[in-house]
Chain A
Amino acid sequence: MSFRDWYRVDRLPTIYCVGCGNGTVINCTLHAVDSLGWKWEDTVFVSGIGCSSRAPGYIKTDSLHTTHGRPLAFATGIKLAKPGLHVVVFTGDGDLAAIGGNHFIHACRRNVDMTVICMNNWIYGMTGGQGSPTTPRGALTTTTPYGSGEGVFDLAALAVAAGANHVARWTSYHVKELTRAIQTGLETPGFSLVEVLTQCPTAYGRRNKLREVSDTVEYLKDHAILLQKYNRLTAEGKPVPEDMFTVGEFVRRNRPAMGVPP
């Protein structure tokens, strides 16, 4: 099979805006799933609410498009009741980190065997561009018209601290690395979070001097720093610009997990 064979073709085109990064993330995910030889009949995609969460509707497997913030709780039920199914969750920064924050840390703690792909675009896209728990300080959104003054969640660090077996962060620019990270997540027994920073030109970019689609992608490329390099620089006492963010594999381990097929 090819990744194309996983699409629910009669549902295309997607509802995504021109220049949205979500399609890239779906492609990378389906590439990863396909490369492992998984059968679509044995795979379930689950999601919450938001742009990211429309993704399962475009994939031909069984899929559960649930309520806002709750996909990990629904997915936990699916995986524990039928461990033989592969469970993959699409979510976003608002869905996972705001309304679903509690389910997020507890799913990591339980280490339920699933792969969670979070499309983090720093904004609530579907409702028109409100601030989220990952909106950078100072960024303009419709609910932070004078610049966001709140702190930012580091989703990858949160997942590591909460007990996930595998955590990685990449961007919609790093498609090869992202696909490999998702593959690793799918293969790792236990909970895997792959956070993907991705562009939302419509709701975020145009309010934050990233008007062209390529502006955000360039930004992601230029401001991503490999975790190992970041660690080396800080160990050497060398400065790292504050607007850089780390990418790479944050953890891969083998703690006891739930819902792993026997």
Chain B
Amino acid sequence: MQGNTACAEGALAAGCRFFAGYPITPSTEVAEHMALKLPKAKGVFVQMEDEIASIAAVVGAAWTGARAMTATSGPGFSLMMENIGYAAMTETPCVIVNIQRGGPSTGQPTLAAQGDMLQCRFGSHGDYSIIALSPASVQEMFELTVKAFQLSEKYRVPVFLMGDEIIGHMRERLTIPDSVEVIPRKKLETGSLPFKAGDDDIPGFPTFGEGYGVHVTGLTHDERGYPAATNPPAHERLVTRLVRKVESARKEMADYRVTNPDAEQVFISYGAPTRTVHQVLHDRPKDGIGHLQLRVVWPFPEFSLAEFPDAKAFLVPEMNLGQISREIERHTDVPVLPVPKIGGDLHTPAELGKALEGSR
């Protein structure tokens, strides 16, 4: 099965029943598969007039209780930024798939990149936190899409599936489990204020049409949901909680794979370059090379670096000019060596071998 199709299948398995999107290469197959399957699953597919409207419709649907998703790439992702901030501010569960392509601008519509890793974290204005997952295979396109919905429903936050053209268009064997865990959205308890959170910082969800009479606004709001835009303490309280509810749970939601924890030279990868790292480890079994594969990239699991106590160098192959390598640098004293590659081709094993030599 193709990666993009596996993503759509994962969404359906996770209970997604609303998809709004706009055609854009190389993500379109996600929308096409949802258009085919959703009507048969009593769901709704709608092709909107642009990506701004797509994410808006997804947020609207989410407030009716639906699990909702959109899929896009570079330019469309840029258009979504304002309403992604709205989703973060209003604590709307939703999943945004970005099958990354070369940028900036129209760039390379048919070739892979990982150039949006910082944009997905910081792209909308203001302070907020999100969750981003990075699949490295067709199987992970399925699994991590399911996980995206689970995390989104639990933490009431936009969750990004940050794929790329290689993984999206590649075809591999996919094993679909008989069932996947579908996490029900925690409802608002009657009598509670709609934006008042308990110890976990996550308020219960007041679904539209169930008599809550909730006012939802992108303005800074108090615990009643009422605008409090000129109230500095209310803003500090709200935005701090929005960030804290994600950042303080990063151990709980961490998802990474460790190979050879005793290694001195350690590759850190996410998404497509993971595959080249696997090849290098396979080709050089006696070299004791370490590997950390991040499946959850944001919130960044800085504690995962401690899995390699003997590390002398972290090598970070990325299909960008060094985005996550910067994040790694600020969490460790071990030298971090970016192995950037842009242009659309995946790193070759020889290129990673050369980086290994250079790190000795």
> B53, A73: Cβ atoms under 8 Å?
yes
| B209 lies within 8 A of chain A by Cβ | yes
CB closest residue in chain A, given B45: A80
Nearest-CB distance from A51 to chain B (Å)? 13
Give complex CA distance A57, B229 in Å.
14
- Asked if B24 is at the interface of the complex by the 8 Å CB criterion, the answer is no
B50 interface hit (Cβ, 8 Å): yes
Q: Are B216 and A64 in contact (CB under 8 A)?
A: yes
Stretch at the interface among A38-46, A128-136, A168-176, A212-220: A38-46
* B49 contacts the other chain (CB 8 A): yes
Cβ distance A15 to chain B, nearest Cβ, rounded Å:
9
Chain B interface residue count, CB cutoff 8 Å, equals: 41
* CB of A4 closer than 8 Å to a CB of B: no
> A102, B209: Cβ atoms under 8 Å?
no
B104 within 8 A of A: no
A65 near B215: Cβ-Cβ < 8 Å: yes
Point out the residues of chain A lying under 8 angstroms from B206, CB to CB: 62
Which of B17, B50, B59, B66 meets A102, CB within 8 Å? B50
Q: Looking across the interface, which residue of chain A has its beta carbon closest to that of B218?
A: A67
Give the contacting residue for A62; candidates B48, B56, B213; CB below 8 A: B213
The smallest C-beta distance from A75 to any residue of chain B, in angstroms, reads: 6
Contact with A along B52-74 (1 / 0, CB 8 A): 11101111111111101000000
Chain B residues within 8 Å of A11, by CB: 226
Q: Which residue on chain A has the smallest CB distance to residue B212?
A: A62
**Contact of B209 with A44 in the complex, beta carbons under 8 Å:** yes
By secondary structure, the B interface counts as mixed
Contact B226–A57 (Cβ < 8 Å): yes
| B233 CB contacts on chain A under 8 angstroms | none
Distance in angstroms between the alpha carbons of A61 and B208 in the assembled complex = 9
| Complex contact A74–B56 (CB within 8 A) | yes
**Interface flag for B86 (CB, 8 Å):** yes
CB distance from A224 to the nearest CB of B (A): 32
CB pair B209–A42 under 8 Å, yes or no, is yes
Q: Among the listed stretches A27-35, A81-89, A194-202, A237-245, which one makes contact with chain B, having 4 or more residues with CB under 8 Å of it?
A: A81-89
Question: Looking across the interface, which residue of chain A has its beta carbon closest to that of B227?
Answer: A57
CB distance from A70 to the nearest CB of B (A): 5
If A41-B209, A82-B208 touch, whether A76 touches B83 (CB-CB below 8 Å) is no
Find out whether the CB atom of A84 lies under 8 angstroms from the CB atom of B217. no
Asked if A106 is at the interface (CB within 8 A of a chain B CB), the reply is yes
Q: Within the assembled complex, what's the spacing in Å between the Cα atoms of A174 and B333? A: 72
Residue of B with least CB distance to A39: B211
CA–CA, A1 and B261, complex, Å? 69
The residue in chain B whose Cβ has the minimal distance to the Cβ of A84 is: B209
A81 vs B214: C-alpha distance in the bound complex, in angstroms?
18
Please report the C-alpha to C-alpha distance between residue A63 and residue B61 in the assembled complex, in whole angstroms. 13
A138 interfacial by beta-carbon distance below 8 Å: no
* B64 A82 Cβ-Cβ under 8 A: yes
Does the CB pair A85–B56 fall under 8 Å? no
Question: What 1/0 mask marks residues of chain A from 43 to 63 whose CB sits below 8 Å from any chain B CB?
Answer: 010100000000011001111
Task: Tell me, rounded to whole Å, the shortest Cβ–Cβ distance linking B63 to chain A.
Answer: 6
Query: Known contacts A66-B86, A73-B53; is A81 also within 8 Å of B44 by CB?
Result: yes
Which B residues are closer than 8 A to A by beta carbons? 17-18, 20, 44, 46, 48-50, 52-54, 56-66, 68, 82-83, 86, 206, 208-219, 226-227
Sample 9 A-B pairs with CB under 8 A, ordered by A number.
A8-B213, A41-B211, A56-B215, A57-B227, A62-B63, A77-B60, A78-B64, A102-B53, A106-B49
Taking A76-B57, A85-B64 as given, write out 6 further A-B residue pairs in contact, using a Cβ cutoff of 8 Å, ordered by the A residue number.
Answer: A61-B213, A73-B48, A73-B54, A73-B60, A76-B20, A78-B208
